[in-house]
Amino acid sequence: MISFLQAILTLSFLSSECGQAPLNNKIFGGEAATAGAWPWQVSIHITCDGDLCYCGGSLINKDWVLSAAHCLQGFGTSDIMMYFGRLRRSGLNPYETNRTASRIIIHHTFNNPKNDNDIGLIQLSSSVTFTDYIRPVCLAAAGSTFAAGTEIWVTGWGKLHSGGECRFVCPFPDILQEVQVPIVSNSDCYDAYGGCLLYIVRDINAQCLSIQGDSGGPVVSWNGSLWIQSGIVSFAGVKCDDPRYPSVFTRVSQYQDWIVKKKE
């Protein structure tokens, strides 16, 4: 089994520039992000029932975005617009570019609503150019593990929450949000859900770590030299303010072979 320190090994199709964030000087902390702090973060806008739905994603090379299957199921390439280098949901984003989708791939055994195998890929209509604000993330190597207590980061524009049930009345933040939290043990996850792939506990303020608008976004950790994506936001706990039900994330290392095969 591959250790966390060995997890810097990356997929053959990933750029050698992966996992670098020159403008991110924060390894601890949280709340509002700064421009370029998470250069692989993608804002995915989906046309659904005449309205816009929002999900997150991660840039894994110049042509592909990794996201959650439940964000993409039932939609076509013409329904999707992706934004790179974005910090704000509204107003000026001087480092931003966008792309449409040319292909959508959902894991063939994705099970909704259980969200098993909640992983998908989007091929960009054209390649993006890497800058300090737009860069790919490294993916956790196949078989790599992340011990309970490992500090990981979750990022996204999901609805703000500060306890209680607030899913449909809390506002979306204007600025990309970040939070650092530890992974919980496998036994805790089995107690809560009867088994899951990757998950974390909520932060010290008992805020909901990932809710509407965060799905599909990256979960990353710093190994001392590179940022590694170990998870994909899948679903929040049964109740956002109930510590017995941590948020759940798809474990990227279990799908490395699938990712390599499907992008070919």
Residues noted as catalytic:
70, 118, 215
Separation of first and last alpha carbons in the chain: 26
| C-alpha distances in Å from residue 159, one per residue of 78, 91, 144, 225, 244 | 25, 18, 31, 31, 21
CB atoms within 10 A of CB 175: 16
- Judging by beta carbons within 10 Å of its beta carbon (0-12, 13-18, 19+), is residue 258 exposed, middle or buried? middle
Residues linked to residue 43 through DSSP beta bridges, in sequence order: 56, 83
**Separation of CA 166 from chain center:** 22
CB–CB of 260/42 below 8 Å?
no
Exposed/middle/buried for residue 224 (C-beta within 10 Å: 0-12, 13-18, 19+): exposed
